[in-house]
Amino acid sequence: MKRLIKCIVLSSLIILGICLIWIKKENTSNNPNEKTSDVIPDLFEQEKILANQKLQTISIDEKIGQLFLVRIPEQGIEEDIQNYQFGGLLYFAKDFKNLTKNEVQNKISNYQSLAKIPMLMAVDEEGGTVSRISSNKNLVADPFLSPSKLYQKGGLEAIKEDTIKKTNILSELGLNLNLAPVVDITLNKEDYMYERSLQEDAQTTSEYAQTVIRTSDPSKLSFTLKHFPGYGNNADTHQGISIDTRDLNTIKQQDLKPFIAGINAQAEAVLISHNIVTAIDSLNPASLSKPVHDLLKNELHFTGIIITDNLDMAGVDIDEETKIYKALTSGNDLLITTDYKNDISIVKKLLSEKVIDEELINEKVVKILAWKYYKKLI
């Protein structure tokens, strides 16, 4: 009898705890600018069981390949998919130029058939000035509008409709990851990120982030919050080093809010900028900075996939081996690269020299595989 009573009490406490967690999460998710709750669970917690099992079946070279989201080269990608077993491919407008819908579907399907583990098929389809798919009228009759024009045209309802449209069109082609939305806050027309942003304040941009993520369907197309910790008014990191000298309070009270809103809405991925944010880390670009990643993980409680911006951009023009070492040890899970052959060889070198260990690789690969299970790719 005592054992029965003890079981009933214990069960009641467990149920109460679950209810409290659910209530707290619901309250947080309805307030986009509130700090994320300490009790948000690991986004891919259940899928990690399967991911750990899968990890036991792949070689160290295949594990390394999973870490990379590679920009498709002019030639040789089929052979390289087989040799390296990439985590994913990143498509640009040139990869769709003049192709029909069937040709794109066949191209992507062919690439997927060469991979032992289904790949992430990624694209930057922001709308407006960054439109990889909708630059081809064979694929999209009318180019996707920029976030600002969409919002001006029809508010959050237009954003929702656009998200659904992008999800359907891109997923039908075989794409499963969109490196958007841009949730950076810029209100000055002279800012580099202005045309790509919503061009609204922190509250509205937070609602935008939340709307896109809540409307998304990970089994079709996942969306990515970028560029953490907020681009601000900084220079183009495609062209050179960019230094953000704003104070930390400004960044927390403004730039982090859309990311918090997106995380509350269960964003699966966040892409990190190459800006050097001096208030957090004056020495390293955000993409290579452990303090920046710690902020995202420990203060914003993000448990999803952290992605670097392209490591071949001028904003991270440092020694290649140092770059890859920092990209791996700062907290990224997935590395975007153009020069993938060199970068993969560096990872192998770092492992052979015991500068990093296989356990670090395993931790990242488990997250990537778990995400693929979560997305129903595997």
109-120 pLDDT, tens digit each: 999 999 999 999
Enter the pTM of the model: 0.90
pLDDT at position 11 is: 42
pLDDT at position 30 is: 56
pLDDT at position 27 is: 39
What pLDDT band is residue 38 in, cutting at 50, 70 and 90? Answer: low
Cα 319 from Cα 50, distance rounded (Å): 37
End-to-end CA distance of the chain: 47
Percent of the chain with pLDDT over 90: 85
pLDDT at position 19 is: 38
pLDDT at position 241 is: 82
* Listed range (5-9, 257-261, 296-300) with the worst mean pLDDT: 5-9
Give the per-residue SS3 of the chain. CHHHHHHHHHHHHHHHHHHHHHHHHHHHHCCCCCCCCCCCCCCCCCHHHHHHHHHCCCCHHHHHHHCEEEECCCCCHHHHHHHHCCCEEEECHHHCCCCCHHHHHHHHHHHHHCCCCCCEEEECEEECCEECCCCCCCCCCCCCCCHHHHHHHHHHHHHHHHHHHHHHHHHHHCCCEECCCECCCCCCCCCCCHHHCCCCCHHHHHHHHHHHHHHCECCCEEEEEEEECCCCCCCCCCCCCCEECCCHHHHHHHHHHHHHHHHHCCCCEEEECCCEECCCCCCCCHHHCHHHHHHHHHHCCCCCEEEECCCCCHHHCCCHHHHHHHHHHHCCCEEEECCHHHHHHHHHHHHHCCCCCHHHHHHHHHHHHHHHHHCCCC
β-strand partners of 130: 127
- What does the pLDDT average to over 351-375? 98
96-153 pLDDT, tens digit each: 999 999 999 999 999 999 999 999 999 999 999 999 998 899 999 999 999 999 999 9
Query: Does a cis peptide bond (omega within 30 degrees of 0) precede residue 218?
Result: no
pLDDT at position 14 is: 35
- What does the pLDDT average to over 232-257? 90
Contact 85, 59 (CB under 8 A): no
pLDDT at position 234 is: 84
- What does the pLDDT average to over 294-303? 98
What pLDDT band is residue 233 in, cutting at 50, 70 and 90? Answer: confident
All domains of the chain in start order, with CATH? 42-374 (3.20.20.300)
Contact 296, 302 (CB under 8 A): yes
What pLDDT band is residue 272 in, cutting at 50, 70 and 90? Answer: very high
23 pLDDT higher than 50? no
65-98 pLDDT, tens digit each: 999 999 999 999 999 999 999 999 999 999 999 9
